[in-house]
């Protein structure tokens, strides 16, 4: 039990007419938890309600994408990259409203409040002919007066529906790639009519939208806006200008709260900050807004968000005046019960978000079909109902042996032990963690170690016998006479089969990260991996003063990192001086050169001047022990888990292990 006192975090706050039971907010996160598009289904309710049940006081759930003024015949634009634009909106569907109302009632029954976010999210319309998303080239249609009027009406109609559903708050989305944002920004708003001009003129659209909503729904529902604390875009507004605009908007008396995050949707910085960002990095923006707005007669609460995964930090932010309310979205994805655990003094039991960004990557550019919300470390996310149905105490406790203490093995052991089985985990290394430990050595990825701590604590609490520095073989496993065995022996780095690969100056990236291999000053990184491993290794080397050149097989580095995070990965490569040559496949290595062939054809390249060659070429599954146990046939229940089955990512290993824990 922790003796940390939360003197502020769990106190209620009056925000306009709404009483928020505590300061912890799930700001809106469109993780697409419903499996019935356009409807609130039981999966959506289970996902967001879990957070209310877990003690989060404010539920922002998922955004309402509003209707847009398409001209006759023009197709809707529903694109993962360009943004979402439709002539219809969910609030116009009676079935949606009915199911939403039930959701609101369910959240209220848990004592939490519901906020509805109204969003025109699109790259199709903008005040001026400038792409809304800075990193893209989607040219928007320029909004005319009738279309602007259409937008106000859609805000007002949606607000009426939100109020009728019993929701407690409405928030107009004026950050990220929304129309509200594009009016506030000097980059995307270059109008010379009444909607454009200096900072104050550029707030007119937002103020007019708020006025229209207030005229329609009155003062009995809290009203706020979501804003970006600083644009971080060439020519965009900085925090000083945002403060000026915000004060001007708040002076109208229309606002009850401001919901501030910082960053944009292409990642540098991202408003869903990855582990490369410090916790609550832009907290001073929250404090400044709070100080400014405190000068007004009407109290305007400040909700601040941005990589806050720890209730102790949240308490500090409230107690030291950085904000009134704390946004903690991914904290609740990683562990929906984190608030209750904190209040009950069970801090050590919290599974802290590692900010790997898989949740937003998956929501914005899904890798899985059918799509389900995904978290690298919480296997239940997106499958809440299945877990509810399938999670049962074991009818008869079994002797379970788990081989391998990576993500898959730890989760299999944790879930099996929670269900009452007697579990022994054998790990050849000095610590649990497997590849999570390797990843955690990279600059900005130390958060991966948090998950290792979580597993170490959880397994100890659950009485799992963990035997470290124990390499399992057929005999060692059989000697334990197990009823069930989970082989989670992971994967090992791929060695490309090319001439010269055995030369002494050729080493593996994993060994470099673990300090097991040293390199000279000039390093060639041979990359045949499209996610985070190559950037991790390259940055680790650059931080140690090496000159790093990456020869990468694909069109650009980290092609599988989605748009909310990729900017930060590439920016860090620039910042540490790493050079990247794309489209190069390794053909051979010699003492003084590397030969490559183009990924697209026959063109050949010879590169020289390197002291060391570091390989990051993906990994190969290690199922040998499983095959031996299978052939032996003496273990009644035998499973192969995680990257020992097929190397993918953390979420896949976590889920696979946990699901086996359910099956035993
Ligand atoms: C540098 C790096 C960065 C990464 N970054 C990301 C990222 O950003 N996002 C993401 O989703 N994924 C990332 N990954 C991949 C992710 O970490 C893995 O997919 C995941 O951790 C695999 O887990 P696992 O349990 O299947 O295997 P492992 O983690 O490989 O665990 C296997 C364990 O089994 C042990 N073992 C093996 N044989 C035996 C034996 N005979 N007896 C006892 N013990 C044995 C090993 O020592 C090891 O601890 C990264 C990986 C690396 C290396
Ligand atoms: C999967 C996902 C979807 C999101 N969707 C939205 C959205 O629809 N509207 C919005 O304003 N913010 C959205 N966000 C941003 C969050 O509200 C929040 O600002 C961000 O996650 C940073 O907070 P955190 O560090 O507590 O996660 C989303 C975040 C995630 C992880």
Report pLDDT digits (tens) over 4-52: 889 999 999 999 999 999 999 999 999 999 998 889 999 999 999 999 9
* Secondary structure percentages of the chain, helix, strand, coil, to 5: 35, 20, 45
* Residue 70: how many other CB atoms lie within 10 Å: 19
- CATH code assigned at 242: 3.20.20.70
DSSP 270-333: BSS--TTSPTTTTHHHHHHHHHHHTTSSS--EEEEESS---HHHHHHHHHTTS-SEEE-HHHHH
Residue 351 falls inside a structural domain: no
3-state secondary structure of 630: helix
Q: Do 552 and 501 have their domain in common? A: yes
pLDDT at 82: 67
Domain final residue, candidates 580, 595, 617? 617
For ligand 1, residues with CB inside 6 Å are: 356, 358, 376, 403-409, 426-429, 434-436, 438-439, 471-472, 488-491, 510, 513, 532-533, 536, 625, 642-643, 648-651, 653
Q: How large is the C-alpha radius of gyration of the chain?
A: 26
Reference 201, options 150, 237, 171, 230; nearest CA is 237
Contact assessment for residue 188 and residue 182, using Cβ atoms and an 8 Å cutoff: yes
Give per-residue pLDDT as tens, 557-579: 999 998 888 999 999 999 999 99
pLDDT at 268: 87
**CA of 175, nearest ligand number:** 2
Residue 358 falls inside a structural domain: no
Q: Do 334 and 408 have their domain in common? A: no
pLDDT at 539: 98
Give percent of the chain above pLDDT 90.
Answer: 91
Which residues of 298-432 form beta strands (DSSP E)? 301-305, 325-327, 399-403, 422-426
**CA of 558, nearest ligand number:** 1
Reference 162, options 229, 114, 95; nearest CA is 114
Phi/psi for 289 (5° steps) reads -60, -40
3-state secondary structure of 662: helix
Which residue's alpha carbon is at the smallest distance from atom 7 of ligand 1? 532
- Give the mutation target among 272, 278, 335 for probing the ligand 2 site: most ligand atoms within 8 A of CB: 272
Hey, CA dihedral for 374, 379, 385, 390, is it positive or negative? positive
- CATH code assigned at 395: 3.40.50.720
* Size (the chain), residues: 664
pLDDT at 53: 98
Confidence of residue 140 (pLDDT cuts 50, 70, 90): very high
269 prior amide bond cis, ω within 30? yes
pTM: 0.97
Domain final residue, candidates 308, 326, 343? 343
Reference 279, options 245, 300, 249, 304; nearest CA is 304
Answer whether 374 contacts ligand 2 (Cβ < 6 A): no
Q: Do 79 and 221 have their domain in common? A: yes
Q: Is 240 exposed, middle or buried (0-12, 13-18, 19+ CB in 10 A)?
A: exposed
Q: Looking up tokens 């900072």, which residue turns up?
A: 199
| pLDDT mean over 227-251 | 96
**CA of 352, nearest ligand number:** 2
Answer whether 277 contacts ligand 2 (Cβ < 6 A): no
Residue 359 falls inside a structural domain: no
Contact assessment for residue 534 and residue 578, using Cβ atoms and an 8 Å cutoff: no
Report the separation in Å between the CA atom of 241 and the middle of ligand 1, taken as the mean of its atom positions.
46
Report the separation in Å between the CA atom of 267 and the middle of ligand 1, taken as the mean of its atom positions.
26
Instruction: State the Cα–Cα distance between residues 529 and 462, nearest whole angstrom.
Output: 37
Confidence of residue 602 (pLDDT cuts 50, 70, 90): confident
Is residue 637 over pLDDT 80? yes
Q: Do 457 and 502 have their domain in common? A: no
| pLDDT mean over 401-411 | 99
- CATH code assigned at 596: 3.50.50.60
Q: Do 448 and 516 have their domain in common? A: no
pLDDT at 613: 98
pLDDT at 601: 83
Which residue's alpha carbon is at the smallest distance from atom 16 of ligand 2? 29
Which residue's alpha carbon is at the smallest distance from atom 10 of ligand 2? 28
* Residue 600: how many other CB atoms lie within 10 Å: 9
Residue 410 lies in domain? 391-492+621-663
Contact assessment for residue 105 and residue 97, using Cβ atoms and an 8 Å cutoff: no
Report the separation in Å between the CA atom of 27 and the middle of ligand 2, taken as the mean of its atom positions.
7
Atom of ligand 1 nearest to the CA of 647: 19
Q: Do 396 and 283 have their domain in common? A: no
Residue 484 falls inside a structural domain: yes
Instruction: State the Cα–Cα distance between residues 141 and 127, nearest whole angstrom.
Output: 8
Which residue's alpha carbon is at the smallest distance from atom 29 of ligand 2? 29
Q: Do 487 and 507 have their domain in common? A: no
Q: Do 313 and 270 have their domain in common? A: yes
For 164, half-sphere exposure in the C-beta direction (CA atoms, 13 angstrom radius) is 14
Which residue's alpha carbon is at the smallest distance from atom 27 of ligand 1? 490
CA geometry: angle 569, 571, 573, nearest 5 deg = 75
Residue 75 falls inside a structural domain: yes
Residue 232 falls inside a structural domain: yes
Q: Do 328 and 313 have their domain in common? A: yes
Atom of ligand 2 nearest to the CA of 362: 1
Q: Is 89 exposed, middle or buried (0-12, 13-18, 19+ CB in 10 A)?
A: buried
Confidence of residue 75 (pLDDT cuts 50, 70, 90): confident
Q: Do 486 and 505 have their domain in common? A: no
| pLDDT mean over 216-239 | 96
Residue 129 falls inside a structural domain: yes
Report the separation in Å between the CA atom of 61 and the middle of ligand 2, taken as the mean of its atom positions.
10
Contact assessment for residue 412 and residue 654, using Cβ atoms and an 8 Å cutoff: no
Residue of 652 and 364 predicted with greater confidence: 652
Q: Do 299 and 437 have their domain in common? A: no
Atom of ligand 2 nearest to the CA of 309: 26
Instruction: State the Cα–Cα distance between residues 312 and 352, nearest whole angstrom.
Output: 12
- Give the mutation target among 377, 465, 650 for probing the ligand 1 site: most ligand atoms within 8 A of CB: 650
CA geometry: angle 337, 339, 340, nearest 5 deg = 70
Split into its structural domains, the chain has a count of 3
pLDDT at 81: 67
| pLDDT mean over 155-165 | 98
pLDDT at 364: 85
- Give the mutation target among 60, 224, 228, 329 for probing the ligand 2 site: most ligand atoms within 8 A of CB: 329
| pLDDT mean over 448-469 | 98
Q: Do 76 and 220 have their domain in common? A: yes
Residue 245 falls inside a structural domain: yes
Give per-residue pLDDT as tens, 483-493: 999 999 999 99
pLDDT at 266: 80
DSSP 200: H
Contact assessment for residue 448 and residue 407, using Cβ atoms and an 8 Å cutoff: no
């Amino acid at each position: 039990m922790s003796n940390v006192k939360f003197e502020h975090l769990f106190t209620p706050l009056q925000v306009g007419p709404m009483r928020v039971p505590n300061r912890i907010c799930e700001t809106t996160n469109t993780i697409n938890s419903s499996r019935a598009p356009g409807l609130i289904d039981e999966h959506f309710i289970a996902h967001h309600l879990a957070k209310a049940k877990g003690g989060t006081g404010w539920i922002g759930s998922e955004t309402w994408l509003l209707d847009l003024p398409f001209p006759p015949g023009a197709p809707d634009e529903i694109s993962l990259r360009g943004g979402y634009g439709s002539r219809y909106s969910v609030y116009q569907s009676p079935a949606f409203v009915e199911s939403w109302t039930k959701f609101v009632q369910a959240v209220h029954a848990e004592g939490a409040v519901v906020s509805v976010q109204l969003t025109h999210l699109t790259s199709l319309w903008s005040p001026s002919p400038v792409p809304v998303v800075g990193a893209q080239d989607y040219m928007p249609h320029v909004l005319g007066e009738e279309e602007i009027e259409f937008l106000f009406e859609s805000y007002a109609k949606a607000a009426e529906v939100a109020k009728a559903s019993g929701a407690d708050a409405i928030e107009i989305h004026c950050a990220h790639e929304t129309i509200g944002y594009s009016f506030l920004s000097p980059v995307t708003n270059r109008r010379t009519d009444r909607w454009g001009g200096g900072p104050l003129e550029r707030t007119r659209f937002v103020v007019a939208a708020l006025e229209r909503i207030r005229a329609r729904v009155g003062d009995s529902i809290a009203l706020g806006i979501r804003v970006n604390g600083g644009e971080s875009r060439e020519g965009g507004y900085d925090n000083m200008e945002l403060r000026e605009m915000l004060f001007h908007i708040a002076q109208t008396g229309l606002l009850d709260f401001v919901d501030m995050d910082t960053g944009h949707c292409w990642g540098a910085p991202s408003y869903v900050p990855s582990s490369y960002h410090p916790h609550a990095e832009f907290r001073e923006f929250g404090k400044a807004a709070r100080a400014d707005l405190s000068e007004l007669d009407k109290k305007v609460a400040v909700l601040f968000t941005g990589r806050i995964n720890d209730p102790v930090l949240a308490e500090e932010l409230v107690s030291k005046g950085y904000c009134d309310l704390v946004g903690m979205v991914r904290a609740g994805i990683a562990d929906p019960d984190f608030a209750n655990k904190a209040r009950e003094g069970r801090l050590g039991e919290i599974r802290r978000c590692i900010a790997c960004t898989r949740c937003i990557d998956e929501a914005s550019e899904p890798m899985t079909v059918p799509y389900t919300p995904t978290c690298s470390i919480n296997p239940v996310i997106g499958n809440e109902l299945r877990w509810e149905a399938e999670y049962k105490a074991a009818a008869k406790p079994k002797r379970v042996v788990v081989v391998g203490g990576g993500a898959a093995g730890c989760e299999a052991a944790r879930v099996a032990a929670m269900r009452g089985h007697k579990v022994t985990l054998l790990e050849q290394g000095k610590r649990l963690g497997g590849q999570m430990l390797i990843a955690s050595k990279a600059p900005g990825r130390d958060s991966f170690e948090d998950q290792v701590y979580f597993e170490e604590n959880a397994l100890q609490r659950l009485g799992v016998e963990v035997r470290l520095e124990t390499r399992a073989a057929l005999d060692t496993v059989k000697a334990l006479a197990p009823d069930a065995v989970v082989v989670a022996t992971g994967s090992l780095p791929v060695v490309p089969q090319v001439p010269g690969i055995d030369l002494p100056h050729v080493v593996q990236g994993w060994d470099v990260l673990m300090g097991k291999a040293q390199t000279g000053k000039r390093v060639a990184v041979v990359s045949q991996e499209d996610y985070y491993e190559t950037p991790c290794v390259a940055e680790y080397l650059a931080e140690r003063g090496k000159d790093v050149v990456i020869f990468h097989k694909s069109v650009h580095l980290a092609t599988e990192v989605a748009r909310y995070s990729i900017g930060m990965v590439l920016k860090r490569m620039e910042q540490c001086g790493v050079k990247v040559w794309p489209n190069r496949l390794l053909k051979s290595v010699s003492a003084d050169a590397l030969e490559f062939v183009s990924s697209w054809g026959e063109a050949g390249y010879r590169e020289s001047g390197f002291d060391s060659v570091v390989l990051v070429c993906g990994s190969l599954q290690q199922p040998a022990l499983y095959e031996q146990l299978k052939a032996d046939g003496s273990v009644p229940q035998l499973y192969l888990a995680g990257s020992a089955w097929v190397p993918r990512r953390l979420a896949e290993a976590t889920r696979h292990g946990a699901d086996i824990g359910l099956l035993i």
